[in-house]
Structure 1
């Protein structure tokens, strides 16, 4: 039986189980595309964001920041586009509290108060929004991101860390409201254990991906899973986080934080980016295309898949979700087949 025949046979028995871990604007792009590929999706979402509307709500009512969760809910929801638009609507009034807040953030905060925790709040809202898949906050408690810079100084808070514009040596997370060790709830760990593919990224390396992996029991689940662990490397470097990083630098940092070579496959863009469409004055979070270092990636013990993974329009650079999702599904089916052999 050929690989394609095996994959087709396996696909009739169940959908591939894909766990995507991250946050930020890149996560919904991949989730939307995976939904089109009929994957059984679990999104594990960062809870350490302290900027914008999420940070303001967190400061007022002490809730896990809802922004990334809101965007993931919309990406996996089956409700009408009009309902999604209402959920995503951001107030532009001059009211001192509502100005800049997204309605969805307020709804998530309200459900958090009603249920007493963010995990149950998100599960309840997932049902209301007819989510195809599962959405799990990485932790049931708000977390604070901490960083040590190369110069030895230490800073707490995601926004404060990136504002320092210093080279980051390492990051870790602490519970915002207690001295107990951060932990993921059992459904998060079970999803990683049972996955065919565990996907990291795309997203900010130090502020969207690593905060999840610095939750000790979540990191341990990733280390022990039999799933294919896939890293979707960023297309562009990010100001204050990954200045001048190559694709290998990204993987090396993740492996260093995990304490070993745990990335099985890396998806990297190999296409040239049309910088004439790029306006750094408007989008200063991006500095330059991430350089390829295939030799370095192989030395990190991971398979490299390279392609034209970019979708560039209006001066912005995004991943082409469909191309990325197809590679993820192929790798997930391969992992499913290996388990059956």
Structure 2
């Protein structure tokens, strides 16, 4: 990687900005992904509850994406991306785990011996620490390895991530927004009712989604305040561009502004371009909203967090509306622009209106087009 490579920080969830991450890596950008520390569902939930640690699923996914973008998608990545059967408890999935942990899996046997030994060490630590009856169903082998590294490094997730990066041989960084183990996301709906847990916020039923989300909150169950991972503050300070999205707005993008120290660090880097990437589609969190409305909520939360009235974003990427009426992909409609151009004028932000949808994957971003646009801005 060139010393003059643009330094780009991506605030995202685990998967939504995958194509953009890969495209920017292909083009030699120096990337730092900042992912949520409050995932409360899936395989991460079982590990989080068992070890009282922060969720590792988004971290692992982002690291795998970084490896793929840097051309390092070899046997190590295949092992980290492996997932066990959905069978529960000590059945088929547990047998699969024991096969991986034994070192007999062909991917491990053809791997560099030092890499294989390290992975097996972490799997052994994980296997030794789990309680009887642990639910392996649909578990991610990479999550198990990352948890083993966490245990090996005295419950230091940053050290475990650095070890993961060494095993993968990648240059890009991935950090959780906070390293506290018990961060919980909540959302207040239009009715005043609150829902708790990221997995609940991302899967509101039709009746709840129709009420809309009026506010969100982050809290640590043990100390209340959610503090920033120190390593992300340095990345923000050095960034040439800071990018928000794409991703689930209320559960993966906006909550980062609620982590103590993040908004202040963002405000301090006055030279970086601050870019918001609008989603292609609505989701359960954002039914009946539009891009202008979401950007307005983002700016409001930034002002609230920093106590400043100055606009924050410098650029907004908006997918061009090709139909003058509502159109759906699967369950969700395309996200409308709203009064985005007028809002851009009010904020002093440049609106870049283009066709950012992937022609082969409806409802998803064309990573190459988004990456090209970001690099043109820089």
Give the structure-1-normalised TM-score.
0.85
Deviation for aligned residue 1:329: 1.4
Structure 1 position 133, deviation (Å): 1.4
1:80 Cα deviation from its structure 2 partner: 3.4
Secondary structure of the 2:39 match is coil
Contact 1:37 1:329 in 2 (8 A): no
User: RMSD of the TM alignment (CA)?
Assistant: 2.2
Distance 1:279 1:199, change over 3 A: closer
Do structure 1's residue 270 and structure 2's residue 336 form an aligned pair?
Answer: no
1:297 aligns with 2:326: no
1:211 Cα deviation after fit: 1.9
Equivalent in the alignment of 1:322: 368
1:247 matched to 2:240: no
The counterpart of 1:103, out of the listed 125, 137, 141, is 141
Give the number of aligned pairs: 312
Q: Conserved in 1, the CA contact under 8 Å of 2:15 and 2:62? A: no
- Which whole-Å CA distance do the structure 2 matches of 1:101 and 1:67 have between them? 10
Is the strand fraction higher in 1 or 2? Answer: 1
Distance in 1 (CA, whole Å) between partners of 2:10 and 2:269 is 14
Quote how far apart the aligned CAs of 1:183 are.
1.2
In the alignment, structure 1 residue 94 sits paired with structure 2 residue 140: no
| Cα offsets for 1:3-44 (capped at 9, x unmatched) | xxxxxxxx9861111011111321222111110111111111
Aligned-partner Cα distance in 1 for 2:237–2:189: 33
Match for residue 75 of structure 1 among 48, 65, 73: 65
- Over residues 289-322 of structure 1, what are the superposed CA-to-partner deviations in whole Å (9 max), with x where a residue is unaligned? 11123223333432101111111436x4211111
- CA deviation vs aligned residue, 1:177-211 (integer Å, no higher than 9, x gap): x2142111322111111110000011000000112
Alignment of 1:1-341 (within 5 A): 14-77=4-67, 78-96=71-89, 97-115=135-153, 116-142=155-181, 143-162=183-202, 163=204, 164-165=208-209, 166-176=211-221, 178-226=222-270, 227-239=272-284, 241-259=285-303, 260=309, 261-270=311-320, 272=322, 280=330, 284=331, 287-292=332-337, 293=339, 294-313=341-360, 316-332=362-378
Q: Over residues 61-114 of structure 1, what are the superposed CA-to-partner deviations in whole Å (9 max), with x where a residue is unaligned?
A: 222111111111111124334432221111115132221111111111221222
Q: Is the 8 A contact 2:328 2:334 kept in 1?
A: no
Return the alpha-carbon distance in structure 2 between the equivalents of residues 126 and 271 of structure 1.
40
What TM-score, normalized by structure 2, do the two folds share? 0.77
| Gaps in structure 1 of 5+ consecutive residues | 1-10, 333-341
Q: 1:160 to 1:119 in 2, by over 3 A?
A: same
Q: Which has the larger radius of gyration?
A: 2
**Residue 12 and residue 145 in structure 1: after superposition, are their counterparts in 2 closer, same or farther (change >3 A)?**
closer
Q: Which runs of 5+ in 2 are unaligned?
A: 90-134, 304-308
